[in-house]
Structure 1
Amino acid sequence: MRYVLAVAETASFTRAAERCHVVQSALSHQVARLEKELGARLFERTSRRVRLTAAGEAFLPAARQALEAAERARAEVAAAGGEVRGKLTVGAIPTVTAVDLPATLRDYRRRYPQVRISLRAGSSEQLVERVRDDQLDAAFLGVRPDFRPRGVHDRELAHGRHVAVVAPDHPLAAHREVDLRRLADEAFVDFAEGSAARAQSDRAFAAAGLRREVAFEVSGVELMAPMVRQGLGVALLPGAFAAELHGLRSVRVIDGPVRVERLIWSRSTPTPAASAFLALLGIGDGEAVPPPR
């Protein structure tokens, strides 16, 4: 089944064999053997492509669940003997600051070297859905204060007000603080409309009865920061995160939006690896306590 998943995910017997560290002939033989046992072809093979048949599409979810269950069983047996192993998949927004995530993952790896760790980035909305669907063990969000994710466990880690981020030579760079009315005259660089990151700022301006121009929509801070640095617009970002951006100035916004960082995790029984990660973050019988930065 592992070979079938590899072929389906890579759309290639050659790449699947490389991923599984076996020769292609052995992988092809095992897939053909499974097809014979099932009495159905799982893949359509041509000289140009490989794709799943209807039977293959039906087989794939059950195969993935079976492999995950087998891995979970091995991890539980190891945990019974005092060893944490298996896999841990964590999600995070790009602007998480409540937890020093690289240092936390480093400490976790040192404590539990047998666990395979994966980190996945995404918007808060996407991360909630992935945790709810058990695609992620836990995730770090940045949301407005009244947002409570449904279908998952959650803890508040931190909250703080957004600041205006401007280029060093921008007229606002000399100010200690501004308000939203003053900022409404500026062109903005912001995230996509409808995203949780954008909604915090949109709601703040709407609540103040103000309109603003978002001239540049970006998918991540990697593009936002250099655009602001070049003077194309201003941005509203969490104060703790903005302080880490080089070559930019942060200006306090007295009526700016507030962001809450939350940790969420699945309502399903956590794996030994996930339980160990939550314990490292202070999740257990008590409240979440972020590690010191």
Structure 2
Amino acid sequence: MDIPLAVNMRHIRAFLAIAQHGSFTRAADHLGLSQPALTICIRQLEECLGLAVFNRTTRKVLLTFAGREFLPTARRLLSEFEAALTNMQAHADSQRGRVAVASLPSVAAEWLPRTVSHFARTYPLVSVEITVEDSPGVYRRVRENEANFGFAGQLKPAPDLAVRKLQAEGIGLVCRRDHPLAMRRGRLSWPDLAGYNVLDSGNDDCIRTVLAQHPHLTPTLTSSQYRTNKAAILVAMVEEGIGVTVMPLMAVPREYRSILAFRPLHDPTVDRTVYLVQRRSHMLSAAEQRFIETALAPVVGAAADQARPATKPVSVRRVRAKPGAARRQRT
């Protein structure tokens, strides 16, 4: 069968319209075709595929098993075809267009505002849409063409997606600056958290990364009765003295960095790595490529910092507690 030559986007649109509306009549109205023309279009598709894609009854039209199997592929084909046309039209229309990015909250807050500011100078007519998701959500949006690319943690390898390692950042303790662990001298290790209320970040990439590499830490990191998957809520609870938590410094909202203490954790040292996620089948437009390059510029500049010895202390603000002000309870 010479399917690539016989099937075109007209057939794909017809198939998707009928699958959506469950009726040849409504699909024909949606597409602006006569019902006989739509029937011929589907017959041609089925002849090329060698399979029926619809079961027709007097009341409704249902997808066959083959039709259900073909449906996600057809959606992806149409989506990528329309995206390609949009990119070409953008080049022909003074580089107008749209860059859709899916991102972890920490990356969206830390990298992307600066990126958008610099990007707008080169592509002032290109709109930018940033959607914040956890890592599985980023991968899903990229896979389903809801985002051109994304910034996420690493999940299981997928044949349709390409990932590029960008930056690894150490996971550390976040607590009040008058907390006993903030004022303790010397290095902190994970066992030092035992006995304290470590607020649980649910399915957050940070905790998932730690436990995947070091399952023996499970009792320490999953014992809290308080949990949320939002970093802003988590650090607000820490600031209220409810407990402590663990995350990369980049995940701590900026407004809390002068209020709370961040202490690197050792024995073991655990990193959260950020990756660029792209569909293998997607060809980046000039604007998308420029956006990625702009976003990664700080990462390239910080590469030397990532190579520093693990024993070298990072900048952590320490505050000597005022008499009677320090909270000594084990939170």
TM-score, scaled relative to structure 1:
0.67
Instruction: Indicate the structure with greater helix content.
Output: 2
Q: Which residue of 1 aligns with 2:288?
A: 274
- 1:113 partnered with 2:121: no
Q: Which residue of 1 aligns with 2:239?
A: 229
Q: Which residue of 2 aligns with 1:150?
A: 158
**Structure 1 residues 70 and 202: CA distance shift in structure 2, 3 A:** closer
Structure 1 counterpart of 2:183, one-letter code: A
CA positional deviation for 1:102: 0.7
Name the CA distance, whole Å, in 1 between partners of 2:215 and 2:103: 28
Match for residue 271 of structure 2 among 226, 234, 258: 258
Contact 2:151 2:274 in 1 (8 A): yes
Contact 2:171 2:271 in 1 (8 A): yes
**Which structure 2 residues correspond to residues 236-251 of structure 1 after superposition, within 5 A?**
236-242=246-252, 244=254, 245-246=256-257, 247-251=259-263
- Equivalent residue pairs, number: 245
Contact 2:106 2:250 in 1 (8 A): no
Name the CA distance, whole Å, in 2 between partners of 1:268 and 1:216: 42
**Structure 1 residues 186 and 138: CA distance shift in structure 2, 3 A:** same
1:138-174 CA distance string (max 9 Å, x none): 111135xxx5642322221111211101112221120
**Structure 1 residues 184 and 201: CA distance shift in structure 2, 3 A:** farther
1:16-50 CA distance string (max 9 Å, x none): xxxxxxxxxxxxxxx996487566xxxxxxxxxxx
- Aligned residues: percent identity? 23
- 1:139 partnered with 2:150: yes
Match for residue 180 of structure 1 among 190, 194, 197: 190
CA positional deviation for 1:78: 4.1
Match for residue 290 of structure 1 among 299, 305, 309: 299
**Structure 1 residues 85 and 270: CA distance shift in structure 2, 3 A:** farther
Instruction: Indicate the structure with greater strand content.
Output: 1
Structure 1 counterpart of 2:264, one-letter code: R
Stretch moving more, 237-246 or 175-184: 237-246
The CA RMSD over aligned residues, in Å, is: 3.9
Contact 1:125 1:196 in 2 (8 A): no
1:219-243 CA distance string (max 9 Å, x none): 2112111100111111101034448
Query: Which ranges of structure 1 fall in alignment gaps of 5 or more residues?
Result: 2-7, 9-30, 40-53, 283-287
CA positional deviation for 1:71: 5.8
Q: Which residue of 2 aligns with 1:189?
A: 199
**Structure 1 residues 211 and 205: CA distance shift in structure 2, 3 A:** farther
Contact 1:164 1:250 in 2 (8 A): yes
Structure 1 counterpart of 2:263, one-letter code: V
Instruction: Report the 3-state secondary structure (helix = DSSP H, G, I; strand = E; otherwise coil) of the residue aligned with 1:113.
Output: coil
- 1:160 partnered with 2:160: no
Structure 2 counterpart of 1:257, one-letter code: V
Instruction: Report the 3-state secondary structure (helix = DSSP H, G, I; strand = E; otherwise coil) of the residue aligned with 1:276.
Output: helix
Name the CA distance, whole Å, in 1 between partners of 2:217 and 2:229: 26
Match for residue 124 of structure 1 among 135, 155, 179: 135
**Structure 1 residues 289 and 100: CA distance shift in structure 2, 3 A:** closer
**Structure 1 residues 63 and 243: CA distance shift in structure 2, 3 A:** closer
TM-score, scaled relative to structure 2:
0.60
CA positional deviation for 1:259: 1.0
Structure 2 counterpart of 1:264, one-letter code: V
